[in-house]
Amino acid sequence: MSPAFSTRTHWSIYLPALLVSLLWGALLVWADSHEPKLMSVRWLALVIEAFFVPALYLAAWLRARGNEFVLGDGLYIRQGGFRSEKFGVALAMVDSVSLRHSLLQRWLGAGTLDITFKGGRVVSLSDMGRVRKAVEAFDEVRK
C-alpha cells in the first residue's frame, strides 16, 4: 500500500549557506573595487568562499538527505545526515505528532516535527516541509 503522507527536509535548510555566500561574495566585490585595494579582506573572503561555503552547503545537503517522515499503515522515520537512523513503528506506539516553527519557517512552510512515542521518547525532525499537513495527516489516520 502506498503511504498516506510523506515529507522530507524543506529547501530552506540551504538558506544559511546561501546567506553566508552572498554576504562574503558582496564583501569580496567591495574589497576588490575599493581604492586602495583591500587585499587582506579580499583574500579572507576568497578563502571563505572557496572552503567554508562549500562545507556549509555539504553539511546542509547531508542533513537534507537524512530526514524523512512517512505515514501509512505505520510510521517510518529516517533522521540524521551521514549515518541516518531509520526506524518504523506501528501507529499504536505513537502518542502524538506536533509541530514547532519560527515566524520565518511559517512563512516558508517549514518547521520541526516532534513525534512523541508511548513511554515518553520524543524524536524531533528539524527543517521539515509541510509540517502542518503532516500533523493533520497523522490526526486523520489515528481517527
Q: What predicted TM-score, i.e. pTM, was given to this entire model?
A: 0.78
Cα distance between residue 9 and residue 78, in whole Å: 11
pLDDT tens for the chain, 143 residues long, are 457 889 999 999 999 999 999 999 999 999 888 888 888 999 999 999 999 999 999 999 988 888 899 998 889 999 877 777 888 999 999 999 999 999 999 999 999 999 999 988 999 999 999 999 999 999 888 87
At residue 1, the pLDDT reads 47
